[in-house]
Chain A
Amino acid sequence: MAENPKRMSMIVTKGTLDWAYPPFILATTAAAMGLDVTMFFTFYGLPLLLKKLDLELSTLGNPAMKMPMAGMHMALPNLMAALPGVDAAASAMMKNLMKKKNVPTIEALREIAVESGVRLIACQMTMDLFEYTLEDMISGPEPGGAATYIEVASNADINLFI
């Protein structure tokens, strides 16, 4: 197992609170199961590497987001979701719910990913585009581009685009 572990790679393209979970849950779990894991952060996924995270989600255009409320499940109509402050309130509600249900924070999962030796690649083009540098990021990520990812992916057993 240790000599020739299975490998998993992921392209992380989304940076909202809800979409941040699948890549970090899968990366930390795969690492715990002995896989070599690489995460490639690009476009809106890149800010997930920033030192300070302030993750939000939007209920706008997301009719599948039904929150448990008073024994029912409620979605927010788009017209209301578009009002100022609604995204912040929905994000706070989601964070409270996660805390109550003992779902780990993204910060905690990210720390475990780093501790577990998950390889983090920050898309150089995205950093240039959105004016970020490695100094803005937690320690650990290395810069890379499409070819860097393809090399990793071509040697991996599992490749995910999230």
Chain B
Amino acid sequence: MADVLLDAKGLNCPLPILKAKKALLGVPDGGTLEVLATDKGAVKDFEAFCRTTGHELVAQGEETGVFRFLIRKK
């Protein structure tokens, strides 16, 4: 279970990333954020977001059109 859950389903670029950034403020260092999104661009974008910011993309997956990202805050 992640520390914070962000439902970004239905939102388009760049909102999933912007909302994730905001949600991470409420996550303790080393804690996790789970993001749900339907934006197909989000897969590449969350990978790039994590590489650039240093947060760890612990897991990602897709189920019936919903992408799930688990991010560990650095």
Quick one: CB contact mask for B1-29 with A, threshold 8 Å, 1 for yes? 00000000011111101101100000000
Interface positions of B (Cβ within 8 A of A) = 10-15, 17-18, 20-21, 48-49, 52-54
A-B residue pair count with CB separations less than 8 angstroms: 35
Across the interface, B49 reaches (CB within 8 A) one of A33, A103, A116, namely A33
Nearest-neighbour CB distance to chain B for A106, whole angstroms, equals 13
CA distance A33 to B10 in the complex (A): 22
B25 CB → nearest A CB, Å: 11
A interface list, Cβ under 8 A from B: 1, 25, 28-29, 32-34, 101-104, 109, 112, 116
A1-B53, A1-B54 are known contacts. Are A32 and B12 too (CB-CB below 8 A)? no
Q: Is the CB of B18 within 8 A of A28?
A: yes
Q: A29-B14, A32-B14 are in contact. List 19 more A-B contacts (CB 8 A).
A: A1-B54, A25-B13, A25-B14, A28-B14, A28-B18, A32-B17, A32-B18, A32-B21, A32-B49, A33-B17, A33-B21, A33-B49, A34-B52, A34-B53, A102-B10, A103-B12, A104-B12, A104-B14, A112-B18
